[in-house]
Chains A and B, each alone.
Chain A
Amino acid sequence: MSIAKKIKTWQENKFLSEQQAEQILAFERARGNRTFWGTAFIFAGLLIGLGICLIVASNWDALGAPVKLTGDFLLLGGFSYAVYWSICQKRSGLKELFIVIAFLLSGASIGLIAQVFQLDGGWQSFAVFWSLLGLVYVWASRVLFIGMSWWILLLSGVLKGKWLESLFEYLGKHLDATALALIAGLWLLSYAGGKANEKLSVYTRLAAAFEKVMMWCTYATVAFVGIRWGMIRWENTFFLQCFAYLIVFAFLGARMYLAVQTQNRISFKRNAILAEVYVFGIFASRFGNLLASGFGFIIGGLLVLGLIYVLRRTTRYIKSMEAFQ
């Protein structure tokens, strides 16, 4: 239910006066406008920053190296000052615009220097150096997307491609305690990010961004395990398939439970939808043994009904569910 409808309901039940209702609506509209303009600024910043990166990458021959370097440093200096100015003037939208451009420009500057001096070195050294330089701007951003991009850049530089390749190869061939440990480890990292954010959110949103990135990695790993072992049928024993189902549903069930505890309706619905999509995915993959699969689905449904019956008998959980109403 939207905030406007909620306010109308509260007014009808005499919990709010007309004046209070108008004040709340005006406040929420102002916040919404800031969100709109902030998003527009970030989008513009992305386009401009990426455009600069592309121009640098083209290695434009019309200008000599000294001119290109001087122009680049002047630009970076200008945008660095612009970030400082927008913080001092409390212009949050412009601040995010300048942060995005300065961050991308710092990467473009590294690329330009590498071109001018013909430097070797692969993506990893470039990504780590860019992350270190870019941290100076990114820490000041209040936008999760920018923080998440920074973390992904840093992790792509620090984690060697060979390790990730070996990890996926391992998960593709083994479903065992290591896979569970990986999922648990990623979830713990996300939890640690959330805890750090409670202390640091006033200063920076990097901890919240880390929490989000780690949670995405957890979901990606669970999805990989669920599809590779639960839906792709060749080489998989019945036990391994059931184990994969257990991992996916236990994970999504735990996420739904946590969403109830924190009264996060969006998270609850999202995880519920993912569970439903996975059920359909399993159904679509069941073309070898229809009879056994049919019985399996019915038993699964009866188990869910049993769980609902147990929950309805437990007052504490019902009170938690009522938070969504």
Chain B
Amino acid sequence: MKKRLLLAVFFLPLICLIGWTIFLTVSRNQGTEVKVAVRGYDPRDLLSGHYIAYQIDWAKTDCDQFPDSICPKEKFCHQARWGRQCRFYIPEQYAKELDDLFRKRNSTDTVFEIIYSYRPGHKPLAKEMLINGRAWKAAIK
């Protein structure tokens, strides 16, 4: 009995992580897709892995996608030192190319958008990044 309890204790983190993954999968699949325009966030803070740090450009986002045509600005991203900041994780091998493209977007008229899975009352989950309307992987190849 004691050994079974010990085994159960050591598998607790795995069970928690699997449960969390299932929850996130369900949340992402049940939400409505909304497209938001993004702009850069300065300064960069590369904490772990590679990601693009951005802010949502609500002025260029169509709020009719949301209930009552009101953009739920507080639901997106987290509060950081210089405003609300979001992250989109990217694979290491594309990091430099995407980083350069993102930084030069204004001079090259490149439009970056993020597709979110949105459900009222839940935190939105980013699903895809679009570059000039195309999925980012297709756009950089």
Contacts and interface: CB of A to CB of B under 8 A. Distances in A.
Contacts of B36: none
A114 B78 contact: no
A322 interface: no
Contacts of B28: 117
Contact of B13 (A56, A59, A76): A76
Interface string B76-112: 0110100001111111111000000000000000000
A73 B18 contact: yes
Contact of A57 (B49, B77, B88): B49
A134 B89 CA distance: 24
Nearest to A105: B13
A59 B14 contact: no
B58 interface: no
B3 A88 contact: yes
A122 B49 contact: no
B86 A80 contact: no
A60 B91 contact: yes
A117 B103 CA distance: 24
Given A58-B92, A59-B90, A61-B93, A122 B47 contact: yes
Interface string A99-110: 000100010011
Contacts, number: 90
Interface residues of B, number: 36
A80 B14 contact: yes
A203 to B, nearest CB: 13
Interface of B: 3, 6-7, 9-14, 16-18, 20-21, 24, 28, 47-50, 77-78, 80, 85-94, 125-127
6 contacts: A58-B50, A59-B50, A69-B21, A73-B17, A113-B20, A136-B10
Given A81-B10, A110-B17, A136-B9, 20 more contacts: A57-B92, A59-B50, A61-B93, A73-B17, A73-B18, A80-B13, A81-B11, A88-B6, A106-B13, A109-B17, A111-B49, A113-B17, A113-B24, A117-B28, A117-B125, A118-B88, A119-B125, A120-B77, A134-B13, A136-B13
Interface of A: 56-61, 69, 73, 76-77, 80-81, 83-84, 87-88, 102, 106, 109-111, 113-115, 117-123, 133-134, 136-137
The 3 A-B residue pairs with the shortest CB-CB distance in the complex, in nearest-first order: A118-B126, A61-B91, A58-B92
